[in-house]
Chain A
Amino acid sequence: MVCAENYGSGSAPHADGPGQRRSYGLLMQKRLTPMAVIETRALSKRYGSHRGIEDISLQVERAEVFGFLGPNGAGKTTMIRTLLDLLHPTGGQALIFGLDAHRDSLEIRSRLGNLPGSYATDAHLTGRQILNLLAGVRGLADLGRAEELAQRFRADLDRPLAHLSRGNRQKIGLIQALFHRPELLLLDEPTTGLDPLMQEEFMRLVAEERERGVTVFVSSHELNEVERICSRVAIIGDGRLIAVEAVADLLGRASRNVTLQFDGPAATDELSKLDGVHDLEERDGRVAFKLTGDVNPMLTVAARHRLRDFQVTRPSLEEVFLTYYSQDAA
């Protein structure tokens, strides 16, 4: 655990311009050691007899982009809303910045930005009116980096939201989550409705925020996106945590898809006897199977034969995700 005195008083140096922001990022890198920005301890939320989330314990460290994955109704949004104190937990505890998510919620919320899933607000308001309201609530004399973000996302701040497409409303949602330069971002399905170009821009922005020392907690169905931006993910099913792992480890440990095209009789029997080989299929000398664990025994078998083609592919996060759920369901 990190000692308080390592960080000084905790007051923020001013970071007006981009240059100053960069130097502040460096300052943070030098002064800080990793610590949990989000920590939940057996966090539970039930709605009467209905399950929300159960016994969720996890830690998200500073400057980490953390993915929170699960199918519809798994409890992702309940988790985020409990962290924000919009829902009161029925068990366990959540700490953000080391502060109690319920008791110290105001202090916490002054330091984070949130994009709710299905972002909605008064449709007759313009983006600028929404941001002005939030700037007043947050004690900002101006709209911070809202103009810069609006330019970047090609968002129109001066039209009522009722006149904007879903994707353009989502851009306003992203801007209101980011314009005050929060230390923590909670993003629930952030790229919903965004076109591919804007999705790319969003992913660049997340990478920049991480460089700046911002922690990002992102719930998403877009597993390709999660695979690209997240360093670790938690997988949740039926309100319970199934796994928390580094994306690289998760993909590395997952079954590889192997295809061997034999130039002659296929070594099906030899391969099927190897540890870690499963779902083996053979057709016209082409053997396809999934392989977990050590690849060397398989290579040894393959080397004893003449091959026409050889292919090993890692599964996408989506395949891993589906594997987890099929195991969980079983």
Chain B
Amino acid sequence: MSARSLHVAVPRTAAKSSARRPQPVRSLVARGLADRWRSVLAWGIGGGLMCAFTAGVYPSIQDSLGQALEGYPEGLKEAFSIGELSSVEEYLSAEAFGWIVPIAVSFFAIRSAVRSIAAAEEAGHLDALMSAPVSRRELVGATFITTAISTVGVLALVALLTGTSAAVFGAGLSTGLLLAGTANVWPFAMVFGALALVVTGLRPGPGVTTGVSGAVLVAMYVIDLVGKLADPVEFLRHLSLFKYYGMAIRDGIDPLAFAGITLGALLLAALGAWLFDRRDLDG
């Protein structure tokens, strides 16, 4: 007798008096977001205050910036994408959105992804959850969506505080460019959140997953920096996501780069789900 025919043979004793369609991804995302609002506030307000300060001081220092920059080596200015700094957008790009913000928000995404699976697995929290009808792929998918929404929350706070500060101090910040600059961080950070899911699929535990994903992020930044400073190794920049990240707060979003990076994040998340599906769960 086939397994299927036996399956038909078994009665269902579960009383589904008030049954509805199972929604594992929706339920997991709702729970994940409820668990994360404090960390979204902490990371969003932290990053937002830093950017708000940067935007707020610009009007008072913009006249002296030109003189200060004259003494900077050209290579250094190029490495840190420092142009004339003749606008608050350029200043924000050089001081925050060119490196600190994408690195910090990427770490947030890594931690969010690690929390839902690798950390939960190490703490033994997944056994009860995975005894319910939720597939490994749904768990990874829900984690990716939760991380994506949480990251939007962090970036929205950053944009809100930065825009408010710029308006209060009369920095003349373009709302469109501010939104473009913050939105551009999202796919970048999601790549590293998804990378954490790939590493999770290889089962090294939460510490190593965070470490490896963070190390790749920092390594990409260093490669990009070195590539800008030294022409002979400039080609290495192709290995870094920072090369494709651009300066959206100054130039607006490059739709092709935005879509490509988003696609990369989705592919990494899919790879993570495939790897996670194939391995044992630690108990």
Query: Chain A interface (Cβ within 8 Å of chain B)?
Result: 1-4, 6-7, 9-12, 14-16, 20-21, 24, 28, 31-32, 35, 37, 77, 81, 84, 86-88, 95, 97-100, 104-107, 109-116, 118-122, 124, 129-130, 133-134, 136-142, 144, 173, 176-177, 180-183, 186, 212-214
Shortest distance in angstroms between B276's beta carbon and chain A's nearest beta carbon? 12
Shortest distance in angstroms between A184's beta carbon and chain B's nearest beta carbon? 9
- Evaluate contact between A116 and B135: CB separation under 8 angstroms: no
- Evaluate contact between B7 and A114: CB separation under 8 angstroms: no
Residues of A within 8 A of B18 (CB): 140-142
Residues of B within 8 A of A176 (CB): 128
- Evaluate contact between B10 and A10: CB separation under 8 angstroms: yes
Identity of the chain A residue whose Cβ is nearest the Cβ of B25 in the assembled complex = A137
**Complex Cα spacing A98 to B13, Å:** 16
- Evaluate contact between A95 and B14: CB separation under 8 angstroms: no
**When A99-B3, A134-B132, A140-B19 are in contact, do A183 and B12 touch as well, CB less than 8 Å?**
yes
**When A114-B127, A120-B124, A133-B31 are in contact, do A97 and B10 touch as well, CB less than 8 Å?**
yes
Identity of the chain A residue whose Cβ is nearest the Cβ of B280 in the assembled complex = A87
Interface size, chain B (Cβ < 8 Å): 48
- Evaluate contact between B12 and A86: CB separation under 8 angstroms: no
**When A137-B22, A139-B23, A141-B18 are in contact, do A213 and B13 touch as well, CB less than 8 Å?**
yes
**When A81-B283, A136-B23, A137-B27 are in contact, do A4 and B12 touch as well, CB less than 8 Å?**
no
Q: Does B26 contact A (CB under 8 A)?
A: yes
> What 5 pairs across the A-B complex have the smallest Cβ distances?
A98-B6, A136-B27, A12-B12, A139-B22, A114-B131
**When A122-B35, A133-B31 are in contact, do A98 and B10 touch as well, CB less than 8 Å?**
yes
Q: Does B5 contact A (CB under 8 A)?
A: yes
Residues of A within 8 A of B68 (CB): none
Shortest distance in angstroms between B253's beta carbon and chain A's nearest beta carbon? 36
Shortest distance in angstroms between A152's beta carbon and chain B's nearest beta carbon? 17
**Complex Cα spacing A162 to B95, Å:** 42
Task: Pull 10 A–B residue pairs with CB atoms less than 8 Å apart, ordered by A.
Answer: A10-B8, A15-B15, A77-B283, A98-B4, A98-B5, A99-B7, A109-B133, A112-B131, A134-B129, A136-B30
- Evaluate contact between A120 and B123: CB separation under 8 angstroms: yes
**Complex Cα spacing A134 to B23, Å:** 10
Identity of the chain B residue whose Cβ is nearest the Cβ of A113 in the assembled complex = B131
- Evaluate contact between B3 and A16: CB separation under 8 angstroms: no
- Evaluate contact between B11 and A7: CB separation under 8 angstroms: yes
- Evaluate contact between A86 and B283: CB separation under 8 angstroms: yes
- Evaluate contact between B20 and A139: CB separation under 8 angstroms: yes
Residues of B within 8 A of A186 (CB): 131
Shortest distance in angstroms between A119's beta carbon and chain B's nearest beta carbon? 6
**When A118-B124, A183-B10 are in contact, do A137 and B20 touch as well, CB less than 8 Å?**
no
**Complex Cα spacing A196 to B12, Å:** 33
Q: Given A136-B24, A138-B22, output 16 extra A-B contacts at Cβ < 8 Å.
A: A7-B10, A10-B7, A21-B15, A31-B11, A35-B6, A35-B9, A37-B10, A84-B130, A86-B131, A98-B5, A104-B3, A116-B128, A133-B31, A134-B129, A138-B132, A183-B12
Q: Does B28 contact A (CB under 8 A)?
A: yes
**Complex Cα spacing A99 to B19, Å:** 23
Residues of A within 8 A of B125 (CB): 120-122
Residues of A within 8 A of B31 (CB): 129, 133
- Evaluate contact between A3 and B15: CB separation under 8 angstroms: no
**Complex Cα spacing A120 to B282, Å:** 13
Identity of the chain A residue whose Cβ is nearest the Cβ of B14 in the assembled complex = A181
**Complex Cα spacing A6 to B11, Å:** 11
- Evaluate contact between A24 and B13: CB separation under 8 angstroms: yes
Residue from the list B1, B16, B124, B134 in contact with A1, Cβ < 8 A: B1
Residues of B within 8 A of A87 (CB): 280-281
- Evaluate contact between A2 and B127: CB separation under 8 angstroms: no
Shortest distance in angstroms between A181's beta carbon and chain B's nearest beta carbon? 5
- Evaluate contact between B23 and A7: CB separation under 8 angstroms: no
Identity of the chain B residue whose Cβ is nearest the Cβ of A3 in the assembled complex = B9
- Evaluate contact between A214 and B8: CB separation under 8 angstroms: no
Q: Does B17 contact A (CB under 8 A)?
A: yes
